[in-house]
Each structure stands twice: as C-alpha cells, then as structure tokens.
C-alpha cells in the first residue's frame, strides 16, 4: 500500500510538472489575440506564471485527498504513465512543497519586475521621441521668430528712415 502511495505521489508530481510546463509554454497573446486589450503583452507573462502558481498550490492542497482516494488508482496510474512518459525537459517548477511555491512566487515577482522595467523602457523611448519632435518644433519656431524679428527690424528701419531725414 505504501509503495502504491509513493508511486501515486510521484505520478501526481509528474502530472503537475507536465501541466505547469504546458501552461508556461502557452503563447497566451496568440491564443487570445482577438479578445485581449491593447498592451496585454505587458501583463500576460505575469498572468501565465500566476496561473501556474495557482495550479501548483491547488494541486498541493488536494494531494492528501487524492492520496486518500487513490487506493484503487493503480490501473489508472499505469495507464496515464504509459500515455505520458516522464518529461525531462519540464524541470521547472517542481511540485514538491515550499521550494516550488517559493520558486513560482519568485518567478511572478521577477516577471512583474520585468514587465515594469519594459514599461519604463518603452516610456523612456516614447519620451525621447517626443523630446526630439519638440526640439525640431522649437528650432523651427526659433527660426521663424528670428525671421520675423529681422523683418520687424527692416520694417522699423524703413519707417524710421523718412522720419530721421526730416529731422536731420
């Protein structure tokens, strides 16, 4: 019985790793392209990681109940194991307690930080572009102002010349 519980526990951990690997590999932007608002690419990685973390937490909460009910799960476990061999490439996150949950939380934190940095970089690029546009507009306005000043001085000189001749 204990061997069957250990096998079932191992199988459940593999199932969780397999499912989390599937979640983390999903391209949610492409999958929900028509339904997502503009700018969703900033928060989608964080949402995907949060979804994986929620899945792992739920699996860990329900694991004791599954083990309790798993007395007759031997044939079902063997059947699943034949259809889904171990996936060595899906090593993160391990469904094995606090370290896996900590890894997921750290991943969520890092994804949030990366999204924040990406937003700041995008804002900086936009600000630089706007500054360049304003510099060009300011230079054009200065040139126009200088031309108007020169015209004003020429007009003033032209108007002042007859007055100065009469006085002189």
Q: Assess if residue 152 is contained within a domain.
A: no
Total number of domains in the chain: 1
Residue 154 lies in a domain: no
- The boundaries of the domain holding residue 41 are 2-131
Q: Do the domain assignments include residue 158?
A: no
Cβ contacts of residue 86 below 8 Å, gap of 6+? 14
Reported as a single tens digit per residue, the pLDDT across 39-68 is 777 888 888 888 888 888 888 888 777 777
Residue 139 in any domain: the answer is no
Q: Is residue 168 part of a domain?
A: no
Instruction: Give this prediction's pTM.
Output: 0.41
137 in any annotated domain: no
Encode pLDDT of 99-140 as tens digits: 667 777 787 778 778 878 888 898 999 999 999 999 999 999
Q: Which of 56, 49, 55, 54 is nearest to 108 (CA)?
A: 49
């Amino acid at each position: 019985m204990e061997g069957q519980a250990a096998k079932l526990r191992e199988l459940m951990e593999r199932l969780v790793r397999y499912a989390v690997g599937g979640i983390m590999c999903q391209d949610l932007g492409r999958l929900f392209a028509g339904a997502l608002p503009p700018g969703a690419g900033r928060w989608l990685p964080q949402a995907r990681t949060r979804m994986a973390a929620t899945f792992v937490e739920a699996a860990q909460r329900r694991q004791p109940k599954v083990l309790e009910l798993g007395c007759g799960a031997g044939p079902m476990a063997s059947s699943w194991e034949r259809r889904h061999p171990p996936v060595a490439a899906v090593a993160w996150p391990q469904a094995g307690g606090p370290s896996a949950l900590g890894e997921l939380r750290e991943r969520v934190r890092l994804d949030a930080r990366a999204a924040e940095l990406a937003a700041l970089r995008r804002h900086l690029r936009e600000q630089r572009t706007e500054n360049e546009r304003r510099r060009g507009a300011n230079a054009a306005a200065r040139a126009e102002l200088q031309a108007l000043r020169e015209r004003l001085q020429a007009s003033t000189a032209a108007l002042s010349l007859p007055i100065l001749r009469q006085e002189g």
